[in-house]
Structure 1
Amino acid sequence: MNQQHQEDLAHIRSMMERSSRFISLSGLSGVFAGLSALIGGLYVYELFKSNGMDYLNDDHRLYSTNLVSELFWIAIIILICAFTFGTFFTIRKSRKYNLPIWTSATKKMLFNLSVPLLAGGIFCLALVYHGYFGLVAPSTLIFYGLAVINAEKYTFSDVKYLGFSELILGCISLFYIGYGLLFWIFGFGILHILYGLVMFKKYK
């Protein structure tokens, strides 16, 4: 009888978890988002070299209008790739395990995620507008970390570790202006890949 009660309680907890949290998120989404950021970051590094800028040794970088515009579109492409991979693997996982995607938990997670991201995006555009390019990479890491932490209550609790890691990394990079690309590659690239692999192994 006790075993039956335990099984019933476990089933109830599982149902509550499904109804209150977005659990279709796939670890592969993080892996491929990280790969997109890693490839994009390395491309930007090569772009600096092709423009005669030694990123690791040149402390006085001059960003032309064309270069800033190209960096902006590279960031948009990386964002689109990460979003596409995330959507693809999420849909694939939800179909595999017969999980609903568009639920109240999904809406709440997206809202809590998007508010800090939108504020961070506007803040970064203002930095670019005023020429504070060195603060853009740290700011993206900080606002992204805050967004992930804010959305954690509506999805897997493990994502908060990624959020805090991004937040801490962004705060550290504020004191190493000029090396933001390296922090950005590590935060959005390597950390995402490691997080995705751990999540995929744990929740596959």
Structure 2
Amino acid sequence: MARNIGPACRICRRENLKLYLKGDRCYSDKCAFERRAFGPGQHGQSKFKKLSDYAVQLREKQKVKSMYGMVEGQFRLTFDRAERQKGVTGENLLVLLERRLDSAIFRLGMASSRNQARQLVRHKHVLVNGRKVNIPSFLVSVGDEITLKEKSRTNSLIVENLEAVARRGVPSWLELDKDNVKAKVKTLPNREELTLPIQEHLIVELYSK
């Protein structure tokens, strides 16, 4: 399945949850989810019968996939890796998703959305430990230093994003030096820091069938 390139607001409305896929627009009065908090399409406001257990599990997986902008193959590989690690599979999965470089860039406020963060990485604006990394799925580790190319640090869009970082805040596992546009991974993320309502056990149940 290819990555969804259609209207992002439809995804939020379908999942009945604001996923913050369009950056600053999601915080404004223009947010489509706020204006039309019902499903998209002709029958969006209709009342449907109760979803089956499988449908609930599938929707949870689709929601998290959309949130992190991943295709099915990428997501399944990440799940398989989480399953092989010690500990709780669902929590391992979320930690791996948060450790993705595009997700870390978004969490730091250098980009207003994960999609924008993915573009920054793809276009070689991002350095990890002084080396260019253009792979959005690259996993950051404790002690890694994340920064931008010298020319990119004065980009007006990035400067605006960093000015607005106080609105979202930076998670405690990351340390941001806003003046020098660089950050450091202090520790690995933990489950308690993920504020969006994700029921990871449903994804584990789905893939365990």
TM-score normalised by the chain length of structure 2: 0.26
Higher helix share: 1
Higher relative contact order (CA 8 A, sep 6+): 1
* Higher fraction of strand: 2
Larger Rg: 1
